[in-house]
Chains A and B, each alone.
Chain A
């Protein structure tokens, strides 16, 4: 019995280019209050373009129907649980959207004089302070635009400090359970990557680490809790091993939502970390961005932070551009301010106790799901989990049903799939993260759906393997898409 969904009609809609007809308009401009200028004369004939061939020509009603119809082809948090492990798909409070559009903030130009930008600067200073308190670190930069951008910033900071100490060193250690951005980042920062194997229990292998860490190692990049949702219990010791050899501990803060109010990376030996405001701090994913990836550091790394930095000058805020040790800019201006506003609104709404409650609820939800699904799915790593839980498709794979199939079948039950085949250390991973957003009702429906699919895998594996059945679009041929790429529309 599928409780959550019924088929509903979804309307067809062509591409906007196929809807166009010459002369249709959806725009209005005021009459010019200055004399018109002949473009050919002002710019030179060679600089003036012909019309933009193929560009849309539609009416306002056609435009809004186009995008509204397309929108109904998406699943969204607003429809229901979105249990993507590691992605932290929590509710995006609408108050955040409203305040980010406050006119004096949304229309502030990044070059308007500091005296006319004090409100923006105060917002940033308040967020920096809150994030420093939450992470237990000494200083925060809000400049990086996303998580991977924060990682790059963090590794460049480590490099700058080590260079100043005389040797930037050669490599970054990365556990095999890490996000793909970690090794890609290390490469861009000019480091070789050494992948380290997790222990049999899926956490950092301290004994092995002790062997590997030497004068060539600049840092270890660790996600904590790791991508199994397990807290790295030896983290304090790990930090000591690194620090003794002059190396640093970088923490990927993708899973910080398991720790807020409970434990602080700054207190357990982390030297530098990034946060994903679009995960832990509820700013919307928007179909893949924008994000924001603030970086928090210990005091010794502060001189190297990207310029400019906020500075208190009497009763006012000022931008400090003259920072001789800075790694430089990682982005124009000061950061994704609109995202920062949303994150601060989330922090203000929750307050200290509320943030901690969110963490507790997120962990409770994940543990509850684990207990409910353990009888039906293989759990390769059995330590206590925090905000997410990772099963494997071991039992179902014997019936020919893989994690990707179970994920697709989940769509028919009215849910977004969990994260498929990640982390790589779990063969056929099902990575489930409910977040604090979900109540027991939605979770129980999800659990029932998962159990029903586990049974279907036994009774009717083909039904699962050919899922989804109830969607407007069935499985997409991704192989052909990659083999013969069609990346833009062209007229027939």
Chain B
């Protein structure tokens, strides 16, 4: 090969680089190690994490069982090692599964269109806000304080330089649901979107319909956010929302210390050309057979450049595939049964504790513990190999005495009993 290239050593291939830019020394990294040593390295790191603990953490990331079929499918090289399906003739596997994914998300959310996935739920929220701004020609966004606090932080980062003011409205201290009066008060003619989450960050099934009425009355769109996709197995889909922005981590995506996950954007037919990211559409091939391809690309950065609907390029195809396999395995009955089990577990736990809010909840709720601060409680629980709920003081100073607890189908009754004992 060197002869064919007309050089006597591979180093000559770099001879054209100016001397000043060349690294005159080897990289200060250890020499390579074997497969066995790599496995050992990561096992050792895993040992430094929590092992064998029961956990009551939720707050946007949920502990659900991953059916075995999920990894069986996503480990196939044809899915794992393929690129974005721009070449439709040899990408029908990926394209077909994305089309199925888009369909399932529409069925779940009651929306007309869903895209091929976003990075995660937190980045789907600013994308939904930017969609609303484009669709309404207005610039302001009003977001509920009961939307995941980290999602709101991401929204602020994106909004800051786009002339998109972000204001917040509150929740009712008794119910934990959004404060509709506060929302009404803060609406103005410049508001492009009202953003609410359901179940909200406190686990409360929120008043999306009422929020939508207020938003629509003022000419704004209603964006509904969800972090717990399993809830859609039992909860009424948000038919009154204009855009649904959510996180699918609950659908067989391991928590993995924060990612990768898969976000979604789903919306009504009328907003189809405002959707960010990739979309798969149905068509036919030259022989007349049904075939799928990426479509409506004129919205996207590789065509529109600075005028694109978003700068997003990558989606989360493989993670979306995990969710697709999960939805297929659980299916119509299974997802409902799974949701019902979650509901039962969380209500069993709540029955032993003192929920702070009175609104209806799915698999998470906020609790207060008399005579114990959240940190004291969690310290006591850690001694029993239990990771307690999330102390809320970091995000809500007024809830500094409270903890957000989650129970899923994976949570054992015996662990809930142990937690309740320590909490006494």
Contacts and interface: CB of A to CB of B under 8 A. Distances in A.
Contacts of B343: 37, 39, 42-43
Given A110-B61, A113-B387, A262-B17, A485 B38 contact: no
Interface in B5-63: 5-6, 10-11, 13-14, 16-18, 20-23, 26-33, 35, 37-39, 41-51, 53, 55, 57, 59-61, 63
B257 A286 contact: no
B38 A63 contact: no
B340 interface: yes
Contacts of B98: 287
A46 B222 CA distance: 19
B88 to A, nearest CB: 4
B80 interface: yes
A310 to B, nearest CB: 13
Interface stretch (B134-142, B168-176, B188-196, B312-320): B312-320
A143 B234 CA distance: 33
Given A74-B90, A349-B33, A286 B79 contact: yes
A473 B292 CA distance: 10
Given A73-B93, A104-B43, A353-B32, 10 more contacts: A15-B100, A16-B328, A29-B341, A74-B91, A75-B90, A97-B80, A146-B312, A152-B311, A331-B120, A332-B60
B288 to A, nearest CB: 9
Interface in B102-137: 102-104, 106-108, 112-114, 116-117, 119-123, 130
Contacts of A167: none
A323 to B, nearest CB: 12
A137 interface: no
A476 interface: yes
Contact of B235 (A48, A98, A372, A422): A48
Contact of B314 (A26, A289, A350, A476): A289
A262 B13 CA distance: 11
4 tightest CB-CB pairs across the interface, nearest first?
A: A104-B46, A286-B318, A333-B258, A78-B77
A25 B331 contact: yes
Interface string A106-119: 11111111001111
Interface stretch (A188-196, A205-213, A391-399, A456-464): A188-196
A291 B261 CA distance: 11
Interface residues of B, number: 190
Contacts of B327: 55-56
B384 interface: no
Contacts of B424: none
A52 B108 contact: yes
27 contacts: A15-B100, A16-B328, A30-B409, A35-B344, A46-B236, A49-B232, A52-B107, A53-B107, A54-B103, A56-B328, A72-B78, A75-B78, A76-B78, A89-B83, A180-B303, A187-B308, A188-B161, A190-B161, A263-B23, A289-B314, A328-B157, A349-B33, A355-B27, A367-B13, A408-B89, A440-B1, A476-B89
Interface stretch (B178-186, B212-220, B277-285): B277-285
Interface in B288-340: 289, 291-293, 295-298, 300-308, 310-319, 321, 325, 327-338, 340
A444 B44 CA distance: 43
Interface string A337-371: 11101000101111111111000110110011001
B117 A364 contact: no
B49, B107, B289, B333 interface centre (most CB from chain A within 10 Å): B49
Nearest to B382: A113
Interface string B381-402: 0100001001000100000000
Given A111-B59, A332-B60, A289 B319 contact: yes
Interface string B341-384: 10111011000000000001010000000000000001000100
A488 B39 contact: no
Contacts of B73: 64, 67-68, 71
A42 B259 contact: no
A185 interface: yes
A2 interface: no
A492 interface: no
A353 B31 contact: yes
A403 interface: no
Contacts of B99: 15, 487-489
Contact of B307 (A181, A187, A268): A187
Contacts of B39: 95, 98-99
B413 interface: yes
B94 A67 contact: no
A244 interface: no
Given A190-B162, A411-B87, A487-B280, A329 B150 contact: yes
A74 B92 contact: yes
Nearest to B390: A111
